[in-house]
Amino acid sequence: MCMMTSQEYIESLRKLKTRVYMFGEQIENWVDHPMIRPSINCVAMTYALAQNPEYEDLMTATSSLTGRKINRFTHLHQSTDDLIKKVKMQRLLGQKTASCFQRCVGMDSFNAVFSTTYEVDEAHGTHYHENFKKFLTMVQDNDLTVDGAMTDPKGDRSKAPHAQEDPDMYVHVVERRADGIVVCGAKCHQTGSINSHWHIFMPTISMGPDDKDWAVSFACPTDAEGMYMIYGRQSCDTRKMEENADIDLGNKAFGGQEALVVLDHVFIPNEYIFLNGEYEFAGMMVERFAGYHRQSYGGCKVGVGDVVIGATALAAEYNGVEKASAVKDKLIEMTHLNETLYCCGIACSSQGFQTKAGNYQIDLLLANVCKQNVTRFPYEIVRLAEDVAGGLMVTMPSEADFKSGTVVGRNGETIGEICNKFFKGRPGVSTEDRQRVMRFLENICLGAAAVGYRTESMHGAGSPQAQRIMISRQCNMEGKKQLARNIAGIHNDNKN
């Protein structure tokens, strides 16, 4: 088997013994839990589209390890064309789900760990690269979803990992054995962790000689002994648990997922270790993963943006203001911002280059410029969406009110009849359709879906300052100054 169907993916999750906790209790049937299932549906879409001949070119690839047809989410990029197709695939999935489809972190970790382990082996004579190739072959052959786990809790951020009062603030090795290592710690904000078959753990910062025990990367199954997840809350999340919930959910079928992943003395066999004390390569792994993941945002957030723009245009039509010049201008601005993000994603992909290991890496400077724009533009897109939609987006009565048969009017009108009367828009548009588009925009702009669009645009793949630091490193300021000297006729650098 090389590629699963969406249903096979969902059934494969049922076979895992993943420990999931929510609201202080363990969730036994987490696959069918109403708060979790929409995020599983998002991942399932990555499998469904790969089975569709219409999307075969974007959703599938030929494995560089086996020569077999595989899902692109398990692929090692072999060219700039692969990098570009990755971004296009992510935009497509954003358009289909209007949410986070969660497999990007795994794909980005594959490519970062693949090239980094090659260079670690080259420097230290280790066997991490072979370990990783065998692991990824297994992932490709079984079409597994893998979570890329990078973000540690960090504790006192002014201190290095070894200097923390609690050493568990960064994932670390607590025991080295002949057959493997034992690790403790946690990873925060982990996208799609519960919905994954395996995890790849990576360092989260550059490290020094005293941080050797924290310079560790490895893979382990999601249901490994000693590993468990605590599900993260989202705005309006318990609406999914209301009886007969539908319109009030906004995006009923799809949603994102974040969790705290805890490692409580988890044993990792040698064959799944990809870094173990080689601290000088921790920063390389971090930068490469971050670069790939910042490229990703030029695809996924653009696809969701397409849906936000479409919903905003519908809201304008339902309100009867679609011909107003101010509304048209706002929709143009939303499109301009969205396509600018896409341009950045395509640009950093087209300027990619081959690593020593043979896979392709994006242009790091342009990838960080892409993500820096993502920390800003979706916020403006959402602001404009809220502007056009109007206050009804956040003040509308509940779905239950619109369906209520309770009599309140002098002439026997029910609450439902009153709501349907006063919240109707233009002629020819049902009140329910207006409800649906308003609730959808609420969900995207402020509710659970905002985690995967607005807020994640700020902090996912690193906060804005993380990109600015990388832009500073990559921008070649000395080269730019020399260009100015050459043209201005300055023949010395005038340095003190």
CATH number, position 162: 2.40.110.10
**Among 151, 278, 293, 344, which one carries the catalytic annotation?**
293
270 lies in the same domain as 360:
no
151 lies in the same domain as 111:
yes
407 forms beta bridges with 414
Asked if 300 is an active-site residue, the reply is yes
Q: Which domain holds residue 325?
A: 287-475
Which pairs with CB-CB distance under 8 Å and at least 24 residues apart come from 328-333? Answer: 330/384, 330/387, 330/388, 331/384, 331/388, 333/380, 333/384
202 lies in the same domain as 74:
yes
> Is residue 495 situated within a structural domain?
no
Final residue belonging to a domain, choices 233, 260, 281: 281
**Among 47, 128, 297, 342, which one carries the catalytic annotation?**
297
Asked if 297 is an active-site residue, the reply is yes
Q: Give the position of tokens 């079409």.
A: 143
Final residue belonging to a domain, choices 266, 281, 296: 281
pTM value is 0.96
**Among 60, 116, 191, 312, which one carries the catalytic annotation?**
191
Q: Where are the beta strands (DSSP E) in 206-272?
A: 216-221, 227-231, 259-269
Could you give the angle at the alpha carbon of 149 between the alpha carbons of 148 and 154, nearest 5°?
A: 155
> Is residue 351 situated within a structural domain?
yes
105 lies in the same domain as 185:
yes
Q: Are 268 and 182 in contact (CB under 8 A)?
A: yes
> Is residue 496 situated within a structural domain?
no
> Is residue 493 situated within a structural domain?
no
Asked if 258 is an active-site residue, the reply is yes
Q: Are 144 and 198 in contact (CB under 8 A)?
A: yes
* Residue-by-residue pLDDT tens, the chain, 496 positions: 689 999 999 999 999 999 999 999 999 999 999 999 999 999 999 999 999 999 999 999 999 999 999 999 999 999 999 999 999 999 999 999 999 999 999 999 999 999 999 999 999 999 999 999 999 999 999 999 999 999 999 999 999 999 999 999 999 999 999 999 999 999 999 999 999 999 999 999 999 999 999 999 999 999 999 999 999 999 889 999 999 999 999 999 999 999 999 999 999 999 999 999 999 999 999 999 999 999 999 999 999 999 999 999 999 999 999 999 999 999 999 999 999 999 999 999 999 999 999 999 999 999 999 999 999 999 999 999 999 999 999 999 999 999 999 999 999 999 999 999 999 999 999 999 999 999 999 999 988 776 778 888 898 888 899 999 999 999 999 999 999 999 999 998 777 6
Provide the 3-class DSSP secondary structure of residue 26.
strand
307 lies in the same domain as 450:
yes
pLDDT at 24: 97
**Among 9, 77, 100, 231, which one carries the catalytic annotation?**
100
State which H helix or E strand residue 4 sits in: none
348 lies in the same domain as 330:
yes
Could you give the angle at the alpha carbon of 148 between the alpha carbons of 143 and 150, nearest 5°?
A: 170
How far is C-alpha 56 from the chain's CA centre?
22
**Among 287, 317, 386, 456, which one carries the catalytic annotation?**
456
Comparing CA positions, the residue from 494, 388, 37 lying closest to residue 231 is 37
pLDDT at 493: 76
> Is residue 194 situated within a structural domain?
yes
DSSP calls for 270-321: GGGEEEES-GGGHHHHHHHHHHHHHHHHHHHHHHHHHHHHHHHHHHHHHHT-
> Is residue 348 situated within a structural domain?
yes
> Is residue 383 situated within a structural domain?
yes
DSSP calls for 364-406: HHHHHHHHHHHTTHHHHHHHHHHHHH-THHHHPPPHHHHT---
* pLDDT per residue as tens digits for the range 310-332: 999 999 999 999 999 999 999 99
Asked if 339 is an active-site residue, the reply is no
Q: Give the position of tokens 């699963």.
A: 4
261 lies in the same domain as 356:
no
CA distances from 44 to 60, 237, 279, 379 (A): 15, 20, 37, 28
CATH number, position 414: 1.20.140.10
How many domains is the chain built from? Answer: 2
**Among 42, 199, 228, 258, which one carries the catalytic annotation?**
258
300 lies in the same domain as 185:
no
Final residue belonging to a domain, choices 281, 306, 330: 281
126 lies in the same domain as 170:
yes
44 lies in the same domain as 164:
yes
> Is residue 487 situated within a structural domain?
no
Q: Are 283 and 205 in contact (CB under 8 A)?
A: yes
Asked if 100 is an active-site residue, the reply is yes
* pLDDT per residue as tens digits for the range 387-430: 999 999 999 999 999 999 999 999 999 999 999 999 999 999 99
80 CB-near residues (< 8 Å, 6+ apart): 349, 350, 351, 352, 360
275 lies in the same domain as 335:
no
* pLDDT per residue as tens digits for the range 42-61: 999 999 999 999 999 999 99
**Among 42, 184, 220, 300, which one carries the catalytic annotation?**
300
State which H helix or E strand residue 334 sits in: helix 325-350
266 lies in the same domain as 354:
no
CA torsion 84-286-18-251 (nearest 10°) is -50
